[in-house]
Amino acid sequence: MQTADCPQHPGKSLSGSQQTWPYRLVWAFWGVGLATIGMGHTVTSYSAGMAIPDWPSVFGHFPFLFPLHEWFRHWDVFLAQSHRLIVTILAIFSLILTGFFWKIRWNPHKWLATAVFILICLQAALGASRVLLGDIGVAAIHGCVGPLCFGLITVLLVVASPSYEQLCRSHHEATRRRWRKAVTVALFIAGLTYLQLVLLAQLRHVLPQQPPIQALLIVIGQGILWAVIGMIVVTAAMVLRKPLCNVMTRKFLWLVIGLYCLHLVLGLSAWIVNFNFPAWFLSHVLAVEYTIVQGGVFQVIVSTAFALVSSLLFAASLALLICAAVDRGANVDSDHN
């Protein structure tokens, strides 16, 4: 049973067997976080953000005593109320987890869990402001902070995993230059995927009086980001190749690559289900006749999936960053800088 400190994260660490239950709790927490952010993206896809005009009450009712038949009467009300309830569960879960980590004095997870809890509270406050002020701008910010919360929860999950502990304790010596390259590339991926999320949030929470040029610039920006992220991901694949990095880091790299490709496909699909095929394509012999169905199942699924995969991509890139930061390589290379 190894109980040595992780050189990157000094402080008390848990042994492998001691880690199991807290780790499962964090997995469950991550699952609730995924459900919360999925629900949030669905609320946006259905424009149900103002389906319930008051907060914290629900049409004057105490939130947990809102009648069931009212809850299921309108789909947008169902989504909004479900989102509020699941956020409550998440916040309570986060509080319990934080308390638990502080109790067992599990470093650095207690600080990370605290940061997650604070961010969840901030996100809840933003959600409340969105409703109380009726402001779409606040909704856009709420849409930017949500993936941050989820990203941080993912980081907590990674850091709480036994594999990460092993990664920390690895004594392989990768060169400083390689390490710096790995971290830089991972940092760029994380930063740019978040920027793309921010742009997407602007598109999904558009102000009705916004000038038309703004959406065009956002879409162009997203296109450029996609291309740049693609190039950096390719670079990452070269920099983080075996034997220069640990298997855990490589797994997250493959996850990032997979999510990036899925993100691309969903992005194009989301364009079609919201704006139809471009005119130059429709003039072509391969033109496909398509009528957008507003609020249709296909449109909602694709739009929500696109936003959710964006959040997952960001979360995966954060996980990659964390692993790259502590990774010392799978094999020894006698190059020392």
Partner 1 sequence: MRGYFFSSLLIAVGLLVICSCSRPPAFRLNTEGRDPGSISPTQHEALTTTLADFFGTPDQATTPRGVELNHDLLHLAAGPMGRDLERVERGLYRKHCANCHGVSGDGAGPFARLLNPYPRDFRKGVFKYTSTVMGAKPTNQDLEKIIRQGMPGTGMPSYKRLPDDDIKSLVEYVKYLSIRGETELYLVRLVLDENELLPLNRQAVLEDGVLPAAESWDLPQIEPDVWVVKPHRPDWDDQQLQAAIARGKELYREPRAQCITCHGPEGRGDGEQTDLYDIWNQAKKGITDQQTRELARHFALPIQKLRPRNFHSGIFHGGDTPEDIYLRIHIGIKGTPMPGAGPAPGIPGVLTPDEIWDLAYYVLSLAQKLPTHSAHEDSERK
The answer to whether residues 94 and 30 touch, using CB atoms and an 8 Å cutoff, is no
Question: Minimum distance from CB of 266 to partner 1 (Å)?
Answer: 17
Q: Where are the beta strands (DSSP E) in 199-252?
A: none
Q: With respect to partner 1, which residue has the nearer C-beta, 177 or 242?
A: 177
CA pair distance 194, 236, nearest whole angstrom:
17
Residues in the chain: 337
Question: Minimum distance from CB of 21 to partner 1 (Å)?
Answer: 27
Question: Minimum distance from CB of 27 to partner 1 (Å)?
Answer: 23
* 196 half-sphere exposure, CB direction, 13 A CA radius: 31
CA pair distance 172, 23, nearest whole angstrom:
26
Q: State which amino acid sits at residue 175.
A: T
Question: Minimum distance from CB of 24 to partner 1 (Å)?
Answer: 26
Residue 222 CA from chain centroid, whole number: 17
Q: Which residue from 108, 104, 93 is spatially nearest to 29, judged by alpha carbons?
A: 93
Question: Minimum distance from CB of 222 to partner 1 (Å)?
Answer: 12
Q: With respect to partner 1, which residue has the nearer C-beta, 39 or 186?
A: 186
Question: Minimum distance from CB of 1 to partner 1 (Å)?
Answer: 29
Q: With respect to partner 1, which residue has the nearer C-beta, 35 or 187?
A: 187
Q: With respect to partner 1, which residue has the nearer C-beta, 68 or 285?
A: 285
Q: State which amino acid sits at residue 112.
A: L
Q: With respect to partner 1, which residue has the nearer C-beta, 25 or 300?
A: 300
Going 221 to 222 to 227 to 233, the CA torsion angle's sign is positive
Question: Minimum distance from CB of 125 to partner 1 (Å)?
Answer: 12
- Residue 322 host element (H or E): helix 297-326
Q: Which residue from 233, 281, 232, 227 is spatially nearest to 254, judged by alpha carbons?
A: 233
Question: Minimum distance from CB of 141 to partner 1 (Å)?
Answer: 5
Q: With respect to partner 1, which residue has the nearer C-beta, 210 or 331?
A: 210
Q: With respect to partner 1, which residue has the nearer C-beta, 163 or 214?
A: 214
Q: How far apart are the first and last CA of the chain?
A: 33
Q: Which residues form the interface with partner 1 (CB under 8 A)?
A: 47, 49-54, 59-60, 70, 73-74, 76-77, 134-138, 140-141, 144-145, 148, 183, 187, 190-191, 194, 198, 206-216, 219, 274-279, 282-283, 285, 287, 289-296, 325
Q: Which residue from 273, 276, 268, 190 is spatially nearest to 236, judged by alpha carbons?
A: 190
Q: State which amino acid sits at residue 62.
A: F
CA pair distance 41, 146, nearest whole angstrom:
10
CA pair distance 193, 252, nearest whole angstrom:
15
Q: With respect to partner 1, which residue has the nearer C-beta, 50 or 262?
A: 50
